[in-house]
C-alpha cells in the first residue's frame, strides 16, 4: 500500500512539473473570464457538449473587480445532454456580459459527435452557432475633453451578428485534453467613418478568434480522496495567458481548489455536492501587485444533473 501511494505521489509531482513549464510560457484575453469553467467546460469548448452521462444544467454569475465602477458582470446558463444511440450531443446556452458602457448578449445551439477510440478513450468534435448582440451606450460617459465627439457613433449603437465556434475534446475517465476556437467567422460589429479635425476618421470593431487549450488529469488516491490538476491557456491576437489549478475531491461531497493565472494573481474555488444530482459552487480571486486596486472577484454557480432513474452513479470525476 505504501509503495502504491508513493508511486501515485511521484506521478502527481511529475505532472505538476510538466504543467508549470507550460504555464510559464503563457500570459491575456478578451472574451468573458470564468473561474468555474471546470464545472462546465461548455463555456469554452462546444466539443464538451454531451460528454457527461446526464442532461447537465449549469447557471453561473460572475461579479468581477467589485471595487471598480463599470467592472465586468457576466451571467451564463447552459444545458447539454448526450444522444447515445447516435453518438451525438446537443446543447443550448445563453450569456449576458456587461462591462462599462458595453453590453453583450448571446444565445447558442451546439452539437457534437462523440467517437469511441478505444474502450477507455473517446474523441468529441463539436461546433456551436448563434446570435450575439453588442450594445454601446456612451452618452453618459464623461470625457476628459468635453468637445471630444469621436465616439458619438456609440452613444446608442447596437448590432446583432452570427457567431460560430468549434472545438475538439479527447477524454478518458481520469484524463482530458481539449482545444477550441471562438468567433471563427470574425463578424464585424462596427465599421463607420466620422469627421474629426477637418479629416475623415474610421472606426472598426471585429470579433477576433480566441483559442482555448485545456489539459487535465485526475489522480485517485483512495475511495475518499481525489486530486485533479488542470491547465488552461487562452490566446487572442498572439497574446497568451495561462491558468494552472489544483483541485481535490473529498468523500465525494466536497471539492476544494486553488488556481494561479498568469499576469494577474490567484484565487480559490469550492463546490459542495449536495446530492448526486445537485451541486453548488463558489470562487474568489484577487489580483496581485497593482491588480489589487481593482478589487476582488466573486463567482457562483449551480449545477443540476438529470439522469435516468436507474442511473444513480456519481458523474465521472474528471469534471468538477
Buried b (16+ CB within 10 A) or exposed e, 229-257: bbbbbbbbeeebbbbbbbbebeeeeebeb
d(CA 211, CA 269): 24
Instruction: Report the range of poorest mean pLDDT among 45-49, 126-130, 241-245, 304-308.
Output: 304-308
3-state secondary structure of 12: helix
> pLDDT: is 57 or 137 the higher one?
57
Residue 199 has what pLDDT? 67
What's the pTM? Answer: 0.83
pLDDT at 154 over 80: no
CB-based contact 180:47 (threshold 8 Å): yes
Residue 66 has what pLDDT? 81
pLDDT at 288 over 50: yes
> pLDDT: is 320 or 166 the higher one?
166
> pLDDT: is 27 or 177 the higher one?
177
Average pLDDT score, the chain: 83
Output the CA–CA distances (angstroms, integers) from residue 5 to 1, 8, 11, 47, 172, in the order listed.
6, 5, 10, 34, 22
CB-based contact 81:55 (threshold 8 Å): yes
Q: Homologous superfamily of 2-306 in CATH?
A: monomeric porin ompg (2.40.160.40)
Least Cα distance to 219 among 210, 229, 211 occurs for 229
54: cell is 446526464
CB-based contact 54:309 (threshold 8 Å): no
Helices (H) and strands (E) in the chain, counts: 1, 16
Q: What is the pLDDT of residues 215-246, one digit of tens each?
A: 999 999 888 899 999 999 998 887 888 999 99
d(CA 228, CA 317): 9
DSSP result, 52-78? SSSEEEEEEEEE--TTSTT--EEEEEE
CB-based contact 295:37 (threshold 8 Å): no
Q: What is the pLDDT of residues 158-176, one digit of tens each?
A: 899 999 999 999 999 899 9
Sequence-separated (6 or more) residues with CB below 8 Å from residue 80: 42, 48, 49, 50, 52, 55, 56, 89, 90, 91, 92, 110
Residue 102 has what pLDDT? 85
> pLDDT: is 26 or 13 the higher one?
13
Helix (H) or strand (E) holding 13: helix 2-23
Q: 124 - beta bridge partners?
A: 114, 169
- Please state the rounded mean pLDDT for residues 94-114: 93
d(CA 256, CA 71): 27
Amino acid at each position: 500500500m505504501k509503495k502504491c501511494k508513493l508511486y501515485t505521489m511521484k506521478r502527481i509531482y511529475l505532472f505538476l512539473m510538466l504543467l508549470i513549464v507550460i504555464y510559464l510560457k503563457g500570459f491575456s484575453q478578451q472574451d468573458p473570464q470564468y473561474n468555474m469553467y471546470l464545472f462546465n467546460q461548455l463555456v469554452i469548448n462546444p466539443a464538451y457538449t454531451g460528454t457527461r452521462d446526464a442532461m447537465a444544467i449549469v447557471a453561473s454569475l460572475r461579479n468581477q473587480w467589485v471595487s471598480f465602477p463599470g467592472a465586468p458582470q457576466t451571467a451564463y446558463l447552459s444545458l447539454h445532454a448526450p444522444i447515445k444511440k447516435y453518438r451525438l450531443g446537443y446543447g443550448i446556452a445563453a450569456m449576458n456580459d456587461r462591462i462599462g458602457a458595453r453590453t453583450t448578449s448571446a444565445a447558442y445551439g451546439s452539437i457534437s459527435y462523440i467517437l469511441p477510440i478505444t474502450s477507455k478513450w473517446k474523441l468529441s468534435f463539436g461546433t456551436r452557432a448563434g446570435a450575439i448582440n453588442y450594445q454601446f451606450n456612451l452618452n453618459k460617459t464623461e470625457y476628459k475633453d468635453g468637445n471630444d465627439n469621436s465616439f458619438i457613433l456609440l452613444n446608442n449603437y447596437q448590432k446583432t451578428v452570427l457567431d460560430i465556434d468549434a472545438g475538439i475534446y479527447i477524454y478518458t475517465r481520469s484524463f482530458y485534453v481539449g482545444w477550441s476556437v471562438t468567433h471563427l467567422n470574425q463578424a464585424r460589429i462596427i465599421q463607420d467613418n466620422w469627421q474629426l479635425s477637418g479629416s475623415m476618421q474610421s472606426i472598426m470593431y471585429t470579433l477576433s478568434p480566441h483559442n482555448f487549450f485545456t489539459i487535465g488529469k485526475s489522480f485517485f488516491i483512495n475511495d475518499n480522496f481525489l486530486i485533479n490538476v488542470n491547465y488552461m491557456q487562452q490566446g487572442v491576437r498572439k497574446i497568451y495567458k495561462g491558468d494552472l489549478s489544483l483541485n481535490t475531491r473529498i468523500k465525494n461531497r466536497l471539492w476544494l481548489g486553488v488556481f494561479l493565472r498568469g499576469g494577474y494573481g490567484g484565487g480559490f474555488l469550492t463546490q459542495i455536492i449536495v446530492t448526486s444530482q445537485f451541486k453548488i459552487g463558489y470562487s474568489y480571486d484577487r489580483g496581485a501587485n497593482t491588480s489589487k486596486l481593482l478589487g476582488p472577484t466573486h463567482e457562483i454557480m449551480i449545477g443540476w444533473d438529470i439522469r435516468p432513474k436507474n442511473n444513480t452513479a456519481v458523474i465521472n470525476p474528471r469534471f468538477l
